[in-house]
Amino acid sequence: MANDIVSINVSTQFAPIPNNLQKTGAFVSQGGTSTSQGTLTLLTQTSDLTPVLAQAIAITTMTWASNLVSVTLASPHGITTGETVSWTIQGVVPTGYNSASIAVTATGPNTFTYPLSIDPGTVTTQGQALPASASEIQAMANTYFAQGSGNAVYVLELGIGNPGDGVTYLTSWIASNLNRIYGFMVPRSWATEPSYPALVSAQAGNTALTYFFTTFNASNYAANVPNFQFKSAFNFIEGQTVPATEFSVASVFYTILNRSPSNVNKVPPLQYAFLVGVTVGTWTGAQRAAFKSLYLNYADTGAEGGITNTILKGGVLGSSLFFNFWYATDWVIINMHVQLANAIINGSNTTVNPLYYNQQGIDRLQAVAQGVMNSGVAFGLLLAGASVSAVDFVTYTTNNPSDYADGEYDGLSGSAIPQNGFTHITFNLVVSDLVTGS
C-alpha cells in the first residue's frame, strides 16, 4: 500500500534436490528378461522380477549323436545362427540331458546343439530351455533383497548373446547414459571375457563415477583377476558350493547402494560388513594370502570376533584402495557440483542478495564448498580438517584478466582425507614371573 510504513520484497531460493547416483545400481542381463534390449526395469522387491523374467521354451525334439545333442524348440530362441551362448536345459528325462548352464550353438531360428560326451539314452520326457541369464538374474535378486528392502535396483537387459556381445552393448549404453548407473553387477561369464577389462579400465579415471562388480571362482581367479586392477573394479570370489539360487556379491552390492549418508546415518567401513544369505568358501591360508595380494574380496565367518554372522573380507577395489576411499571422493564430487551450481543459479535469481563476481561472491562460494566438506566429515566420509581455499579476487583477476570478462573463476580448491577403518590390530603382551611386594 502507498501509505504503508514498511514494504516487503520477497525473493525465492530453492534447495538442491539430492543426487541419488550412489544409490543406483543395475543387474546386467543377457536375455534373462522378456524386455527389449536397452530396457531398465526397476525392482523394489524380488517379486517385481517375476513379470519380466524370461519364460522357458518347450523342447519338441532332442537327440544325442557323436557327443552332441541336437535340440528343436517349439518357438524361436532369439540366438543368432552360429553364435554360442549359455542356456539352461531342464525337465528332461533322462536327467543327464539337463544343465543349469551349458554352451549352446544356434543352428537355426528354433534349433541349437550343445556338447555332451556321454549318451544319456533316448528322451522319454521333453523338457524346456531358457537363457541361463534368467536363473542368474533371479539369484541376483534373491541375494540382493535378502539384505533388506531399503533400496531398489534396476535390471538392464542387453539382449541374448555371448559375453563379448554384452560387453560391446554395455560399452555403448554407458557412453549414451553416462552417470545414470553407479554400479553394474555383471554375469559370472564376463570374468573370463577378453574384451571386458577394457570396459572396466575405461571408467577408472579419478572423476569417473562407475563401478563394475565381477564374480570369480576358484578355477579362474588366478588367471583373470590381474586383468582387473582398476579403481572401477570390485572383484569378488564366490565359495565352492554356492547354490543356484545365490549370487554372493549381490549382498555387497546392496550394502553399498543402501547407504544414505547423513548426520544420523554415518557411513561405516565396508571391509567387515555383514552379509546375509551368502555361502562361505573353504579357503587355505595360501589362497587367502593370494586374495589379499590381488585385492580380491570374499565372504568369511565372523567367528574370530565371536560372531556367527557371515562377513565381507577385503572391502577393496582392484586398484588396492578401500572402496570407502573412492565412495567418499565420489560423494564430494557429486555434492560439490550440485551445491555450487545451486548457489550460482539462486544467486542469479534474487534481487535481495545477488551473487556477483567479486570478493564477496568468492567468499560465498567458498563457504558453500566448505559446507560440503563439513557435511562429509559429519557423515563419516572424511577425516576432520577437510578444507576449501580460494584465490582472492584481486590476485585471481590480476593473473587471469580474461576470466573476469567471461565470468570464469577457477580459484577454488579443497583438501580432504577419506575415512578408513581398521583391518588388523597387533596387541603386545608382556608376561612375567616377577612378583613384587608392597
Residue 107 identity: T
Q: How many CB atoms lie within 10 A of CB 331?
A: 24
pLDDT value of position 1: 59
Q: Give the angle 10-15-18 at the CA atoms, nearest 5°.
A: 165
- Asked if 62 contacts 129 with a C-beta cutoff of 8 angstroms, the reply is no
- Asked if 140 contacts 5 with a C-beta cutoff of 8 angstroms, the reply is no
313 and 380 together in one domain: no
Which candidate, 168, 136, 297, places its Cα nearest to that of 221?
297
Residue 333 lies in a domain: yes
373 and 258 together in one domain: no
Last-in-domain residue among 294, 321, 348: 321
Residue 316 lies in a domain: yes
Strands of the 25-29 sheet, one edge to the other? 40-43, 153-157, 25-29, 183-185, 211-216, 233-237, 297-301, 310-313, 274-275
215 and 299 together in one domain: yes
295 and 337 together in one domain: no
Which one-letter DSSP state was computed for residue 142?
H
User: Can you give the pTM of this predicted structure?
Assistant: 0.93
Residue 432 lies in a domain: no
**Domain count for the chain:** 2
Residue 156 lies in a domain: no
204 and 245 together in one domain: yes
pLDDT value of position 134: 95
Phi and psi, residue 107, nearest 5°: -115, -5
pLDDT value of position 11: 75
pLDDT value of position 100: 86
Strand (E) or helix (H) holding 415: strand 412-415
Residue 105 lies in a domain: no
| Residue written as grid cell 550460482 | 344
Q: What is the rounded distance in angstroms from the CA atom of residue 4 to the CA atom of residue 365?
A: 37
pLDDT value of position 125: 96
| SS3 of 305-329 | HCCCCEEEECCECCCCCEHHHHHHH
For residue 413, the SS3 value is: strand
Q: What is the rounded distance in angstroms from the CA atom of residue 279 to the CA atom of residue 241?
A: 7
224 and 261 together in one domain: yes
366 and 244 together in one domain: no
Domain that holds residue 358: 326-415
Burial 229-247 (b: 16+ CB within 10 A, else e): bbbbbbbbbbbeebeeebb
HSE of 273 in the Cβ direction (CA atoms, 13 Å)? 27
Last-in-domain residue among 263, 291, 321: 321
- Asked if 126 contacts 114 with a C-beta cutoff of 8 angstroms, the reply is no
Mean pLDDT of the chain: 95
213 and 229 together in one domain: yes
170 and 200 together in one domain: yes
Residue 272 lies in a domain: yes
343 and 310 together in one domain: no
Residue-wise pLDDT tens for the chain (438 aa)? 568 898 887 777 788 888 999 999 999 999 999 999 999 999 999 999 999 999 999 999 999 999 999 999 999 999 999 999 998 999 999 999 999 889 999 999 999 999 999 999 999 999 999 999 999 999 999 999 999 999 999 999 999 999 999 999 999 999 999 999 999 999 999 999 999 999 999 999 999 999 999 999 999 999 999 999 999 999 999 999 999 999 999 999 999 999 999 999 999 999 999 999 999 999 999 999 999 999 999 999 999 999 999 999 999 999 999 999 999 999 999 999 999 999 999 999 998 899 999 999 999 999 999 999 999 999 999 999 999 999 999 999 999 999 999 999 999 999 999 999 999 999 999 999 988 765
pLDDT value of position 192: 96
250 and 387 together in one domain: no
Residue 355 lies in a domain: yes
78: which 3 cell numbers?
A: 532369439
299 and 203 together in one domain: yes
Per-residue pLDDT tens over the stretch 124-178: 999 999 999 999 999 999 999 999 999 999 999 999 999 999 999 999 999 999 9
pLDDT value of position 101: 85
Phi and psi, residue 27, nearest 5°: -80, 130
Residue 44 lies in a domain: no
Last-in-domain residue among 299, 321, 343: 321
